[in-house]
Copies of this chain bind each other. A is one copy, B any other.
Amino acid sequence: MATVKAAILGFGTVGQGIYRIVNERKEQLAARTGAPIEIAAILVRNLERPRPDTPGVLVTDRFEDILAIPDLDVVFEAIVGEEPAGTYLEQAIAAGCHVVTANKVMYAKAGASLEAFARESGTGVGYEATVAGGVPVIKTIQNLNLANSITGIQGILNGTSNFILTKMRKEECSFADALKEAQELGYAEADPTNDVSGFDAFCKLMILSGLAFGEQPDWEHVPMDGIDKLTLDEVIDADRQGLRYRHIADVRRGEDGEILASVGPVLIGPDHPLYGVDGVDNAVAIETAYAGTLTVTGPGAGMYPTASVMVEDAAVLLKQPFRKLVTD
């Protein structure tokens, strides 16, 4: 039984989670995929910075060292920022590797071309972690695409926004105070612009659009609002009427075949599938041609949820007969 060799790009929270899970689940992964997975190398930006001990693993700050590993099978990408992440993944695919990413901005822009390149190269791309963290929305839509079709998607795709809206409603606290607590709890970044402006949810929605409909709408034509303009009075008024503001990313195919998308706060009632989703959870309601509306809910971020779906992605790719199809 040959060993599968993997590299991790970026050794922050998610990268460390991948390393831990691959080691904690050695036997399970070997049993499920047919071969044990070994983390052969880790790419870091700064070699001097303290990091957890990783015995026997090449730790390098040069991506060339990663590409030089003989028979590398899988590259996990957990770097912040679009570049050099996208270029690294392209080079990894060219080198015959499966790639797994959590990078939503990069993937919203470059996902389609990375997937096409991977197909040509006989490898695969896993990107479950780019949308809704640990919630298996990508695989659910991939399966629905086999024999059903998606007519629309509505998602709570930014946990920070949902946490803030929940806190404003339940504790009648201001946007600023709720944001401050989200930052203290580690849900929001030091610069929370991408979260509260709606851009984070927008990027995830574009990834879902590409998967569900085979295309994205023109980015400039998608109305995008964050939760930063909602006042506490509006949230409280809604609550008194039994309604709730949710920050919803919505995409569907219009009657003329064009893709219609929007991102922003929406007032919904108790019959809406996203009404009950509180706190940092993410949720996606998938409207289908044959199976009504399916809703998946769960943790949209965090070290272990995100890292575990990335390792799962790798396992799914390793089970598939990619190389066979190419060499047959």
Q: Which residues of A contact B (CB under 8 A)?
A: 21, 25, 28-29, 32-33, 133-136, 139-140, 143-149, 270, 273, 275-276, 288, 290-299, 302, 304-305, 307-309, 311-312, 314-316, 321, 324
Contacts and interface: CB of A to CB of B under 8 A. Distances in A.
B299 A292 contact: yes
A295 to B, nearest CB: 4
Contact of A312 (B133, B144, B299, B311): B144
A308 B307 CA distance: 31
Contacts of A145: 32
Contact of A140 (B133, B136, B291): B136
A141 to B, nearest CB: 10
Contacts of A321: 321, 324
A134 B294 contact: yes
A33 B315 CA distance: 20
A146 B305 contact: no
Given A275-B276, A324-B321, A294 B136 contact: yes
B25 A147 contact: yes
A185 to B, nearest CB: 15
B312 A135 contact: no
Given A136-B294, A291-B299, A293-B298, 16 more contacts: A28-B147, A29-B146, A29-B147, A134-B290, A134-B291, A136-B143, A270-B276, A275-B276, A288-B308, A290-B305, A291-B304, A291-B305, A291-B309, A292-B302, A295-B295, A296-B297
